[in-house]
Each structure stands twice: as C-alpha cells, then as structure tokens.
Amino acid sequence: MSATPPATPTIVLVGHGMVGQRFLEALAERGLTATHRVVVLCEEPRPAYDRVQLTSYFSGRTPEDLSLTDPGFLADHGIELHLGDPAETIDRAARTVTARSGLTVGYDVLVLATGSYPFVPPVPHKDATGCFVYRTVEDLLAIEEYARTRAATGAVVGGGLLGLEAAGALKGLGLNAHIVEFAPRLMPVQVDDGGGTALLRTIEGMGLTVHTGVGTQEIVVDATGAVTGMKLSDGSELATDLVVFSAGVRPRDQLARAAGLTVGERGGIAVDERCRTVSDPHVFAIGECALASDGRVYGLVAPGYEQAETAAAAIAGDASSFTGADLSTKLKLLGVDVASFGDAHGTAEGCLDVVYSDSRAGLYKKLVIGRDGTLLGGILVGDAEAYGTLRALTGSVPPVSPESLVLPAGADAGDRLGPSALPDEAIICSCHNVSKGTIRGAVTEHRCTTVPEVKKCTRAGTGCGSCVKVLGQLVDAELEASGIEVDKGLCGCFSQTREELYEIVRALRITSYQELLDRHGREDARGGDGCEVCKPAVGSVIASLAPAIGASGYVLDGEQAALQDTNDHFLANLQKNGSYSVVPRIPGGEIAPEKLIVIGEIARDFGLYTKITGGQRIDMFGARVEQLPSIWARLVDAGFESGHAYGKALRTVKSCVGSTWCRYGVQDSVRMAIDLELRYRGLRSPHKLKSAVSGCARECAEAQSKDFGVIATANGWNLYVGGNGGAAPRHADLLAQDLSDAELVRLIDRFLMFYIRTADRLERTSTWLERIPGGLEHVRDVVVHDALGICDELEKLMRAHVANYRDEWAETVNDPEKLARFVSFVNAPDTPDPVVSFVPERDQIKPDLPLLAIGLRPADDVLEGSAQR
C-alpha cells in the first residue's frame, strides 16, 4: 500500500552533477521550485561542478572556480541539498528514498541523475596502492598527493578523451607519463586513423610515451602492495609508480536495479522519450545513467542537459521529448584542438571524403560529403577553428566547395561562410541545443546587444564554450543588420579600439593613463580607476610610444607601475609555486665562457633551476621575489641585461651558426640575429614577439614559425612575417626577398611599428595578419610600397625607440625606491614567502606544491605556455 503523498508535492533528485544542476535550473525556470519541495541527495562533498573542465584544476583553477552553482541559487529557490549523503535505497511502493545518514524522504517525483562510474579492467592488483581513477575532484586531490610524495612515473590506462587529460595532468605534476590504449589509435571513438596519427605525433612531441594496440594484463606490486609496474599484452613490462584507470565509464544504475527498475542488457536505466522510466511513471532518469528510447546511453554533457530539460518539462506538464542528440565534440587535449561532428567516420552509404593532412604541423582535417554535396560530418585535429561553422552546416550543402573549407589556400572561404550563410535552424550551441534563429531572436526580440546578454537569455555559450566565437559573430551581424552600431571598444572604460587609442596617444602626446581615461574614456568611466583590460593595454601603448611622446619608457616609473600585469610588475615571470624566473638576454644565443660561468655561479649560489630554452637562452627558475634584485645586480655587473621574458615585447632572435661555421651557410646569420635582437630589445607591443635568422634555406633556426623571420639567400635575405609556432601554428608569409642588410632592417622597422600601431590588445602578428583587411597584400603595400605614405613616420618611431632604449633591470638595481617593491610581504619585508618551497630532482630543484598553493593562478604568459622562450 503506497504512502499518502505529502501536502506539498515533493521532487527528489538523486545526484548533483552537471546534469542534476541543469535539471534544478530547468525546474526553477518553470516555477516548479515555488510549487514543490525539492530535495537533492548528493554523494560528493561539494555542489555541482564543471567535470568537463576538471583537468584545469592542475592549471591553477580551484574547486570553487569549477563550481556550477551560483551563490544563493539553492537558497533563493528553497532547494534542500544534502552533501555527502547519497541515496542507498528506494521504496517504490511507499515512494520514499533513504540516504546513507538514515534520512528518509517521501517523493511524488523521483529523478535519478546518478551519472556513471569509471570502468576498471579486471586485472590482478587493480586496487593496489598507487592505483586511481580520474573522475572527481577528490580523485584529483588523491592523485596529486601521491604524485608529489611517492611517484616519478605514471601510466594511464585508456587513450580516450579523459585518458589524454589524465596523462596531461600527470605530466603537469612532473611525472614521466605513459598512455596505454588497447585500440590501434588514440581517441578511437572520435577520430579515424589519420586523425589518430596526427594526434599521436603531436602528443609524443610533448614528451609523453604512447603505447597503442596493447592491453593491461597485470599491475605489478612490491612487498608492501604498492605499484611498481604494469605487464602489457605484448609481453613487455612498463615500470611505473602510479596507475590511473581511464578506460571508459559505465552507467551507475545499481540503485535502480535494486529498486526493480528496468535496465538495459549493457546497463542504463531504461526511459521513454520524456525521460520517464519505462517501469515506473513516478521515476525519471537523466544523464549518463539513462538508457534513452533510441537504445543509447549518452556520455556527453550536451545530451544530458537536453534530457534534464525534457524531464523538467514533463514534470511541468509541457510537451517535450528526447529522441537522440548531437554527439559532436570539440576539446583541447594537452593543448591540441580535437573536434568531430556529424557522421565523422563516414558510415553513410556512398559518402566521399575530403582530407587535408600535414603531419609536420600535426594537422588533420577530414570532411565527409554525401554524393549530393551535403556535409555529413568531419574530424579536425590540430586546428578546429572552423568547428562552429562546419557543425552548423552539417546536413546542408555548403555554399562553397568542400575543399575550400579545409585547405589553407581556401582561407577566403571563411569570409563567405560567415553567420549569414547559416540557416536559422542550424544549431549553434549543441550543449543547450540553441539554434541560430533563437540567437537572432535574442537580439531582435529581447533587445540583447552583447554576447553576455545573449548567453543569459538563451544559455548559448555557457556549456563547453566552443561556440562562443560564432556566437559573437552572429550577435555583431544581427546588430549591424538591424542598423545598430556594434560597440567595438577596447573595454567598458573606452569606446575606442586599441588602434584608435594608439592614434590618440600619439597625436595628443598623452603620457598618462589617467589623463587618457579622463579625457577620452566613456562618460561613466571618467574619474574612475579603469579595469584589468585597458590598464595594461594603454600602459603598453604609452611604453611603445614613450620616446616620441616624451613619456618615461621605464615601466615601473610612477603611474606606469600600477598599469602592469603581475609579470611586468616584478620584471620577472611568476611560476606555479609563487617563485620567479630570471632570464638574461643572450642575443643570437652567442655567449662568452666568462658569462656562462657567471650564470652558473649565480644559479649555484641562489639554488636556482637552470634550463637551456628553445629560444637559445638560459633560464633560471626558483628565485623568491626578494632575491631578484641581488641576482640581477650580479648579472648587470657581468654585462647582462633583461631578456624581457616577462613582457609583451621582443623575446629572442634565434639563429643557426650561419656561414661562419656551417659549410652550407650563405650569410652570417649569427651577426644578423644579434644586430636585430639588440635593435628591437625592449620594444613593447600588443603581444610578445619572436624572431629567427637562418643562414641558408635548410632553415635550422625555424624562421618561418616566427613573428618575423629571416632566411639567407645567395643574394641577401628573405623576410617572412606573421608566423606562430604556439598553440595555433602558422607558417609565416614571404614579405620581400633578396634584401640587403639595410633594406631588411628598414622593412622590419616598418612592419613592427605598423603592427604595433594597428593590432588589437594581446593579438599576435599571426592573428593580426589574418584579421587586418587585405591581409598580407595590404601589409606589403603599406610596408614595402608605402601605399599610405606613413613609412617615414614608422621608421622615425623605431629610430626613437632604438636611441632611447634603457635596460629595465639596470635602472632598477640602482634605485633604492624601486627596489622597495621586491618583497613578499609589505609589512614584513625580511620574511620570505613560506609557500615557496622546493624538492630535489635530477641534481636540481623543482617546485614542492602543497595543496594550499594549488589555487595560485599563473600570470597570462604562463598560461600561454611559452613565456620563457
């Protein structure tokens, strides 16, 4: 006999993960939290958090940063959340749920969002000390502690999405990382053999060891029961101290099974199109625990969100159904973009492939095309820039040829495939199933004028974030089509772009950020303090124009000091444990023995970690902030100067040995590299600048991956511009060829000053060259042919910079007032920061990262991943 339902209808939610939280939001949106008692039983000790971004914890994000529950949401809607108290039994006859604590709650509607659990292969010693799964924040905390204290090598069982993230986390913790994947390629579900090959090459290039086509037969342990290795199916044995199982997940349906609910043969709680269980109309199941009516268990968050919406609508009595979902994914794994969409593996009868592959650059792009020209799906590895547009076009015939969508030579296709080319029914945000028409409606009907407003109105862009760029394009296009001027201002403080502010500063000779804000800022920003966007951007503009406008070029003079980012503030790069790096300039990589000895003595005396970088410098890591002046005083005395590793400025000009030593060299590349580095040192710009000079066409200095690169020819020098070897690789374009020394320097002067003048904040030359109207041809017209008549002015600005260059550290160590800033604690200047500690590794040191330091956020350069080069 069933219990009498309580006076106030009660909804019980079991599980408070991402899908559970979305279900609660859907209830609130429909007003059900005001008419029902809502009780949540949660196994984990914390509210819902972003499990998709779990690995970002190792990049400095705290569990609080990952939270998906807005402060006050639960209280505002009267939702009762019981953390650390999972449901243990369901009495369907009495309609009650009993939790581990003994709490029993009656329900009118029960919603199961129990998610999934990691599959651990049934191998011997799978539960040994040092074996982990990778699923929750608590798992990460345990892995981190074990890796810090007991491991030097780690192995991940599974080369899928989560397995690659786990391997990246182990590498980030300082372990030698291995990936063991039973399938013949990485990410076998998402990519094909070609994509797997490109991904493998890139990941191995990062220092991870990959074993594909082999399985794990046994975990090897020592006498204490701790992991010492793994036996693999090919007969080999892998030495490892730590094992992470990431071999897939299974639906958590045990609670439902025990309650007599119908489950699938391979797991999953069987539900109908409204996400109601097929065996009990009072019970729903959503997310990774649910077996949908199409016979599939969906392991992605977007289908889970759609199921949450469907269940909430059904409870409210609204018409809604879930009959399947888009399985498209876009992720950045170990810094590599990987995306798949639609029929990625080409299962449709008679379909054709369009493939572009560049194994050297780690790029692989495949489109699956129907015989009628319909775009059916695709795979993108290494460059997923076009993912948003391509996924939205899936199921239609693109307005351009398929080849132009993947070939680098077809870059102009991107202009024709703007927002206007997408049909209104195209899904822009797959996480929340938001179409282009809905986004247009948010602008035209709901008066949204910014991306944040459209996000709030439609939820588009609030999931994985892969659609945000297309979302911004749609919002701007719709505003312009409606005759509304699009605000392209630098930030909320200035309505002008960075380029416009540059011209204002130059023309009016404004030397103060506050003066610029008060005279030219938005009305409501004048008299204020500015923001974190415009302050460093304007500081950079003033610094780059300093000689021409009569300002101090020293970034820590007066007001300028308050405008700088963390790195510039201390003229050093902040590292993950709170210490700093010291990077003296070594022009062209050439250094005399006496200077090498000085660096060695300083590193020894201060106990610093030393590393020779890809930019031909020697970095020293581990300096406490109060040690920086003493270290630099010795370096300055020895003739060194700042290498500007911390600044948005020129970093290095790399070189090969050139014609002086190499039998293939045709020009003196070392001399040219040194001349260029000394000319452009300290040049502040919208983003960092890297360069290289190769002494012949063999290109040993890799000049074509630099912001400006120089390659020797028998007749002089070829100049390449707009290259980038970072997260978004781009080959530089040939600007001019067979130049004399003087012609080369003159064109580089013009190119750099034109870039500084017209680029957006934090925009690399590679992005700027692709964005600026007219692209390379326009830049060539301006820089080579002086089409705008500004080259004399550009050259004059560069001459002023060269004539007025002063080494920042030389000025700092000789100024007691400036030295006063280099302390860990203002109120206790002689006290070192106790968080900054180290442990030995390979005859040097590495950061000792206690849990309390994990929340430290690296500065923007560190996040970018190439700050030291």
Q: What is the C-alpha separation between 836 and 258, in angstroms, rounded?
A: 51
- Look-up: residue for tokens 């996000």? 455
Taking Cα atoms as reference points, which of 53, 60, 137 lies closest to residue 853? 60
Q: What is the C-alpha separation between 568 and 808, in angstroms, rounded?
A: 10
Taking Cα atoms as reference points, which of 335, 337, 381 lies closest to residue 355? 381
Supply the angle between the helices 498-508 and 513-520 in degrees, to the nearest 10.
110
Question: In this structure, which amino acid lies at residue 15?
Answer: G
| First-last CA distance in the chain | 73
42 is in an annotated binding site: no
Contact between residue 424 and residue 440 where contact means Cβ atoms under 8 Å apart: yes
Q: What is the C-alpha separation between 321 and 313, in angstroms, rounded?
A: 9
The CB density around residue 705, as the number of other CB atoms within 10 Å, is 22
112: which strand partners?
Answer: 14, 285
3-class SS letters over 793-834 = HHHHHHHHHHHHCCCHHHHHHCCHHHHCCCCCCCCCCCCCCC
Helices (H) and strands (E) in the chain, counts: 31, 38
700 is in an annotated binding site: yes
Q: What is the C-alpha separation between 70 and 24, in angstroms, rounded?
A: 12
**E strand or H helix at 291, and its extent?**
strand 290-291
696 is in an annotated binding site: yes
**E strand or H helix at 210, and its extent?**
strand 209-212
Contact between residue 384 and residue 337 where contact means Cβ atoms under 8 Å apart: yes
493 is in an annotated binding site: no
Give SS3 for 547.
Answer: helix
Got the DSSP string for 86-128? -EEEEETTTTEEEETTS-EEE-SEEEE---EEE-----TTTTS
3-class SS letters over 665-676 = CCCCHHHHHHHH
339: which strand partners?
Answer: 330, 380
Indicate the annotated binding residues.
Answer: 656, 662, 696, 700
Indicate the annotated binding residues for [4Fe-4S] cluster.
Answer: 656, 662, 696, 700
Indicate the annotated binding residues for siroheme.
Answer: 700
